[in-house]
Amino acid sequence: MILCDIGNTYIHFCDTYKIWKNLPDEINKKELSSDVYYISVNSINEKKLLKAHKNSYNIASIVNLDTPYVGLGIDRKAACLGVENGVIIDAGSAITVDVMDAGNHLGGIILPGLAAYTQAYRSISPALEKRINFGMDFDELPLNTQSAISYGAIKSVVLTIKEIVGDKKAYFTGGDGKFLAKFFEKAIYSEMLVFNGMQISIDKALKKHKEQK
Amino acid sequence: MILCDIGNTYIHFCDTYKIWKNLPDEINKKELSSDVYYISVNSINEKKLLKAHKNSYNIASIVNLDTPYVGLGIDRKAACLGVENGVIIDAGSAITVDVMDAGNHLGGIILPGLAAYTQAYRSISPALEKRINFGMDFDELPLNTQSAISYGAIKSVVLTIKEIVGDKKAYFTGGDGKFLAKFFEKAIYSEMLVFNGMQISIDKALKKHKEQK
């Protein structure tokens, strides 16, 4: 059984302890040697998985999170399911920040992903078309455009996450999760958060199925 | 004499106490009854002004701000010139935040403008294509997508500006300046910041010119 999380940019796979990601147009079929159980936030990329691997099954209907939040993405639901208390930050194309308290989802926010910041600056003016400097020093005020946009993007994301996290535990996942976790004392980084929640959902569904027999 | 500040989205004009803005393709020629003295951060829009009004003169060469910052936009230079001590926030297509101390420019940062956030969310996923809710309540954790992106965009901008402002005075200008100023105790909003700096530069140049005679 392979677990699969279809995002807006990448398709992430998990086969027991092995994790990998493919671009939707570059799915490595050789890796997909068994049934794939997936969730998806992008219907175009979902079709690409189904084309690459027929035996793929959407398990959204068994990924259940109690929440008053309307329209919570299925990947956010899955990531939250594995955390009883804490803040879950999934830093991918978008950066989602969700609060779990005693197993209840209290709400969450959405920031642009760091790549989306680069794209946003570029779209404002060619003069702002610079790479984010991930090694920059935040103790000094920026003295050039690259530092100025790097400070703006990274600091704004970090400060907003800090505002939500407070003294709670922060669980990071996603492509930029490892980088962002560095700015937090009580941070845990795991590539497995979404897959953990999917596995919890599958286990629950199987248990229920057995009980009904 | 009409002062003019050519930005990436709008062209701003000032005729003594009257201020107005036009889209670059919709310059109201009737308003331009005298010579126009301008600065520009966008060469395409600059050409559009020159086409609409021949008697327009670029005064960038007399807008001088002492700074170690490399590549500071001419509009940021002008806005800073009118402030001895404080933080200057110009919230337009981009949001620039610059620190002045005893007449010296110490550096600054760049955030995407609020409209660029909307665009960034949209580019990540159609599911995030929502308007920013400018009236939202930040005391509650968001429980839907519109609140989640509004919180993300507004809060990240406000927190980052607060980090730079500290206990200094904050001078806001630009299209979203009035809205953002609301989040600051010691905030001053003025549509005139850039024009003030341009006028200071012109006065200085005229004085120098007289002294040389």
Residue A159 to residue B160, Cβ atoms within 8 A: yes
User: Tokens at residue A175, please?
Assistant: 């492509």
* Residue of A123, A142, A160 with shortest CB distance to B156: A160
Q: Is A192 exposed, middle or buried (0-12, 13-18, 19+ CB in 10 A)?
A: middle
Binary contact (B152, A112; C-beta < 8 A): yes
The catalytic residue positions of A are: 75
Do the chains contact at B116 and A123, CB–CB below 8 Å? yes
Q: Distance between CA atoms of A39 and B58, rounded to whole angstroms?
A: 56
| A93 annotated to a ligand binding site | yes
Closest-CA residue of B relative to A71 is B144
Is B76 annotated among the ligand-binding residues? yes
Cα separation, A112 vs B148, whole angstroms: 11
**Mean pLDDT score across all residues of chain A:** 96
The reported pLDDT for the residue numbered A17 is: 83
Spatial CA neighbour of B124 closest among A53, A75, A62, A51: A75
Which fold does the domain A75-196 belong to in CATH?
Nucleotidyltransferase; domain 5 (3.30.420)
Chain B residues in contact with A69 by the CB 8 A cut-off are 142-144
ipTM summary value? 0.93
Who among A111, A125, A143 is closest to B8 (CB)? A125
* Class of the domain covering A2-58: alpha beta
- pLDDT reported for residue A87: 98
Which pLDDT score is estimated for A186?
Answer: 83
Mean pLDDT along residues A112-137: 96
Report the residue of chain A nearest B147, measured CA to CA: A109
Taking contacts as CB-CB distances below 8 angstroms, the residues of chain B near A130 are: none
Asked whether residue B203 is marked as a ligand-binding residue, the answer is no
Residues of B in contact with A125 (CB under 8 A): 8, 41-42, 93-94
Kindly determine whether residue B141 and residue A108, on different chains, have CB atoms separated by under 8 Å: yes
Contacts of B121 in chain A (CB under 8 A): 94, 110, 112, 116
User: What is chain B's percent helix, strand, coil content, to nearest 5?
Assistant: 40, 25, 35
Main-chain phi, psi angles of A181, to 5 degrees = -60, -30
Q: B156 vs A157: CB contact, 8 Å cut-off?
A: yes
Strand partners, A110: A96
- The answer to whether B8 is a known ligand-binding residue is yes
Give the residue extent of every domain in chain A.
2-58, 75-196
Q: Which residue of A has its CA nearest to B95?
A: A152
What's the pLDDT at B186? 83
Decide if B2-58 and B84-191 have a common fold. yes
pLDDT tens-digit readout, A68-105: 999 999 999 999 999 999 999 999 999 999 999 999 99
Instruction: Closest CB to A112: pick one of B117, B141, B155.
Output: B117
What pLDDT is attached to residue A40? 97
Q: Which of B25, B75, B98, B137 is an active site residue?
A: B75
Give the chain A residue whose CA is nearest to the CA of B106.
A141
Would you write out chain B's pLDDT as a tens digit for each of its 213 residues? 999 999 999 999 999 889 999 999 999 999 999 999 999 999 999 999 999 999 999 999 999 999 999 999 999 999 999 999 999 999 999 999 999 999 999 999 999 999 999 999 999 999 999 999 999 999 999 999 999 999 999 999 999 999 999 999 999 999 999 999 999 998 999 999 999 999 999 999 999 989 987
Among the partner-chain residues A124, A148, A159, the one whose CB lies closest to the CB of B156 is A159
What is the amino acid identity at position B77? Answer: K
Q: Are B106 and B99 in contact (CB under 8 A)?
A: yes
CB spacing of B149 vs A113 below 8 angstroms:
no
Do β-strands B36-40 and B94-101 pair in parallel, antiparallel, or remain unpaired? unpaired
Residue A176 amino acid letter:
D
Q: What is the torsional sign of CA A172, A175, A178, A183?
A: negative
Note the pLDDT of residue B212: 87
The answer to whether B163 contacts A155, with C-beta atoms less than 8 Å apart, is yes
Architecture of the domain defined by B84-191: 2-Layer Sandwich (3.30)
Q: How far is A136 from A110, CA to CA, in rounded Å?
A: 24
Tokens of B72: 């500071």
pLDDT at A213: 78
Q: Which residues does residue B170 pair with via DSSP β-bridges, in sequence order?
A: B87, B187
pLDDT given at position B174: 94
Q: Which amino acid appears at position B89 of this protein? A: I
